Amino acid sequence: MRQPQSWLLALLSVLALMSTAATASAEEKIFGGHVEVGATGINTKDNAARVNEYVRGRSEDGLSFAPKLFVEGDLGEHSAFELEADANGPRDQQFNMELDAGRIFRLGLDYQVLEHWKDHETLDQMGATGRDDTGGSQPSVTTDKIFSNLPAGASVGGGTLPVGYDPLQAYTEELSNDYLVTRRELKSEAALVIPALPNVIFHAGMRIEKRQGMEQAIGMTKCDSCHVSAVDKKIDEVTEDYTFGATGKFGLLTVDYEYLTRTFSESGSTPFRYYEDAQNGTAYNMLYENGDYPFGRTPDSEKDSHALKARIDLPKDTSLTASYVKSDIESSKSQTQGEYLLLDGSTLKSEYESFGGKLATKFGKNLRLSLRGSMYDIDVNGNEMYYPARDAANAAAAWPETNTDAWHSAEARKVKEVGADLVYRLARGTTLRLGYEFEEVDRDVEELLETDTHTLKASVKTRLNKALSGNLSYQFQKIDDPLPGAHVGIAQGDPLAIQDPLGSGLWYYNTALMNTPNDQLPAATPDNTWYWTDVYPNRQLTSTILPDEVHEAKLSTTWAISANKAATFFARVRQAENDEVEFEQTTYVPGVSLWYAPNGKMNLTMAYTFNKQETENQMCVGWYHG
C-alpha cells in the first residue's frame, strides 16, 4: 500500500520540476547565506529525566558541536529556494528547505530529531490492603523492592516468586535503566498549479515518524498478593502518513478535499514478566498460569480518512462553511486471541464520522455574529470480547453464575456541539465579545453516563490611548456528570459488605466469613464473592478529580513607555469545584513582562511568572480486594 503512494508523490515532484526547469535555468541565479559555528554544553546535577526531559544538545554531560547554516537563492523570475540547518548534537537537529519554481510548483521539506527522557516510576509508593485483610496490615501489594527486604523464606499475602528469581537484582537493574526515546520526523508538502487550471491547486504530503529507544512497562499479577513490577520495553515504531487532495476556487465557492492514509508498525520486542499462580483455591487466575508471559503489546494499526470542506462567500460580509470527515481505523489484535476473543474477528475497528457548519455575518458597522454546530459519531459496535477461560471454569462449576455477556468498548459515543459568538464594537478601540457553547457527550455504555457542558464567555479589549491597552475576560463552565469515576467504590451499599469504620465512605467484603451454603451450589460449597457478580454491579460511589463548576478570569494590560520600551502585567485566577466529592481547586498566576530594544538590531525581554495552586479533595487510597 505504501510503495505506490511514495512513487505517486515522487512522480508529482519530478513532473512539476521538469515543466519549470527550462524557465528557471534561463534566468540569472543569485545565492547568499551565512554560517554560524558554536557549541552547546550540559551539566546535570539532578535527575536528567526531570531537568532535561526534552534533551537540548545531548543526554549526557559534555559539549556538542552546534553549527547553523542558512542559504537562499534566486533561481529566476518567481523562483527561489531556502535551506536552513540547525544542529545541537546528534539527537537535537532541525533541517528545513523551501522551493518555489515559477509559482507553479512549491515544495517544503522538514526534518527533525529530538530525544526525550521518559518517566521512571520507582513503585516506592505501592502498598495496599488485600484479600481477607480486614485489619489493613501492610503491605499486601508487593514490589521487587518489598520482596527483597523480606526475611528469608517469608512471603506476603501468599505471594510467590519463581525459583532463581532475585527481586533485589531485578529492582536494581530496572532502576538503573535510562528510558530514552529518540524521535525522528520527516515531513514534506508539495503543491502544483497547472496553467490550464489556474483556479485549482493540487497538493500532496508525506510524514514519516520513527521512535526508537526504551520505555518503562509496568504490570501486576494477582491473586492473594498483588505483585507489581516494572521492566524495560524496547521501542521501534514507524508511523507513515500520505495525503493527496486539491483546493479549487469557483467564484463564491471554495472547495477542499484531502485523503489521508496512515500506517503504524511496532517492531520492538514485547516485554515479559512472571505471573504468579493462584494461591487461594477459590481465586482462579483466568488469564494466566504461573510463568513468564508477554504484556504491554503495542498493536499495528491502519487509518484511512476523507475530509471535505466548502465555503461560500455571500454579500454583506456573510460566509457559510461546512465540513465532513469520514475515517476508518483498524488495529490488529491477532497476537492476543489466545487470551481473549474478539467477537468480530482479529482486529479492532473504529469508524469516525463528523459533520460541521458555521455561519458568520455582520450587522451594520459594529456587530458581528457567528453560529456554529458540529456532531461526530464513533462507532465501535464490533469491538466486543469475552474470556473463554471463564466459560471453561464455569463449566467446571468454579462459580455459580454464567459469563456469556460480551465486554463492550467504552470508546463508542455520539458528541454534539453548538455555539454562538457575538462581537460588538462599543467605541473606537474598545470591543466586547460574548460567547456560549454547549457540548453533549452521549456514551453507548450506559454506566459511563452522559456528560453535558455549558460554557459562557465574555471579554473586553480596549486601547485607552496610544500608550495603554488592556484585555479582561471571564469564563464559566457547568459540567454535568464528568466521566472519570462516575461509578466506583467496591461493594458500595451491598448488604453483604462492611462499611469502613474509619469513615472513608468505602465498603469492603470480608470473604473469609462468606461460607454460608448457596442454593445454586452443593451445600458444602462456600458462597464466594466474584467481581463480576457482586463487585461490578455495586460500584456506586462517585470519585473524580474533575470539577462540575469552573470560574476563570484573565487580565492583561500593556504600557508602551516609549517606542523602544514596554511593560505588560498579566494575571489568571481559576476556581474549580465539585461538591459531590468535596473537590476544590484554586489557581493564581500573576506575572510581569518587560521589553526593551536598545537599537534596531537587538531587543531584550525579561519576564516573571508566579504560580500558586491550592487543592482539596477526598484522598485516593489503594483498596485492593482479591
- Mode of pairing for the β-strands spanning 253-266 and 226-250: antiparallel
**Strand 291-294 and strand 301-314: pairing?**
unpaired
Is 534 within the bounds of a domain?
A: yes
Q: Is the CB of residue 514 less than 8 Å from the CB of residue 543?
A: no
pLDDT score of 415? 97
Answer whether 249's CB lies under 8 Å from 198's CB. no
Residues of the chain with pLDDT under 70: 1-29, 46-52, 55-59, 125-141, 151-163, 221-226, 276-290, 334-344, 385-407, 483-493, 504-506, 509-542, 618-626
Residue at grid coordinates 516506592: 124
Task: Give yes or no for a contact between 96 and 193, defined as CB atoms under 8 angstroms apart.
Answer: no
Q: Count of CB atoms within 10 A of residue 245's CB? A: 17
| DSSP calls for 95-116 | EEEEEEETTTEEEEEEEEEEEE
> DSSP states of 577-615 as a string?
EEGGGTEEEEEEEEEEEEEEEEETTEEEEEEEE--EEEE
Q: Does residue 388 contact residue 341 with C-beta atoms inside 8 Å?
A: yes
532 found inside a domain: yes
Q: Are 145 and 175 in contact (CB under 8 A)?
A: no
Distance CA 361, CA 357 (A): 14
**Three cell numbers written together for 173:** 537493574
The pLDDT of residue 1 is 37
User: How far is Cα 185 from Cα 114, in angstroms, rounded to an integer?
Assistant: 9
Q: In three state form, how does the secondary structure of 160-209 look?
A: CCCCCCCHHHHHHHHHCCCCEEEEEEEEEEEEECCCCCCCEEEEEEEEEE
What is the rounded CA–CA span in Å between residue 475 and residue 180? 40
Query: For residue 120, what pLDDT is reported?
Result: 79
The per-residue pLDDT for 296 is: 83
> What is the amino acid identity at position 80?
A
Distance CA 481, CA 451 (A): 5
Cα–Cα distance between 416 and 356 in angstroms, integer?
A: 10
Rg over CA atoms, the chain: 31
Q: How far apart are CA 374 and CA 356, in angstroms?
A: 4
Distance CA 486, CA 482 (A): 7
- Number of residues that this document lists for the chain: 626
| Residue 60, C-beta contacts closer than 8 angstroms, at least 6 positions apart | 42
DSSP string, 447-478: GG-EEEEEEEEEEEEEE-SSSEEEEEEEEEEE
CA distances from residue 623 to 10, 471, 537, 579, 598 in whole angstroms, order as listed: 58, 48, 17, 23, 62
The closest of 391, 616, 602, 622 to 506, measured between CA atoms, is: 622
Using the structure block, give the residue that is written with the C-alpha cell 500608550. Answer: 467
Distance CA 550, CA 281 (A): 50
Total domains present in the chain: 1
Given the C-alpha cell 493462584, which residue does it identify?
278
d(CA 22, CA 524): 94
User: What SS3 class is residue 527?
Assistant: coil
* CA–CA distance, 604 with 575 (Å, rounded to integer): 34
Q: Which residues contact 612 (CB under 8 A, 6 or more apart)?
A: 587, 588, 589
CB hemisphere CA count around 429 (13 angstroms): 9
In a domain, 372, yes or no: no
How many Å apart are CA 169 and CA 148, to the nearest integer? 9
Taking the C-alpha atoms of residue 599 and residue 327, their distance in angstroms, rounded to an integer, is 53
Residue 581 lies in a domain: no
Q: Tell how many helices (H) and how many strands (E) occur in the chain.
A: 5, 32
pLDDT at 405: 56
Residue 508 in any domain: the answer is yes
Please give the pLDDT value at position 171: 84
Task: Report whether 413 contacts 378 (CB < 8 A).
Answer: yes
**pLDDT tens string 150-196:** 766 555 545 566 667 788 888 888 888 888 899 999 999 999 999 99
Q: According to the model, what pLDDT value does residue 278 have? A: 54
Q: Beta-carbon neighbour count of residue 406 at 10 Å?
A: 12
527 within a domain of the structure (yes/no): yes
> For position 250, what pLDDT does the model report?
94
Residue 318 is assigned to a structural domain of this protein: no
Pairing between β-strand 318-332 and β-strand 272-275 as defined by DSSP bridges? unpaired
Q: Give the residue numbers spanning the domain of 531.
A: 498-538
The residue assigned the cell 517492531 is 267
C-alpha cell at 621: 487510597
Q: Is 295 among the domain residues?
A: no
The residues, any chain, with a CB within 8 Å of residue 284's CB and separated by 6 or more, are 223, 278, 393, 398
Phi and psi angles of residue 412, each rounded to the nearest 5 degrees, phi first: -65, 130
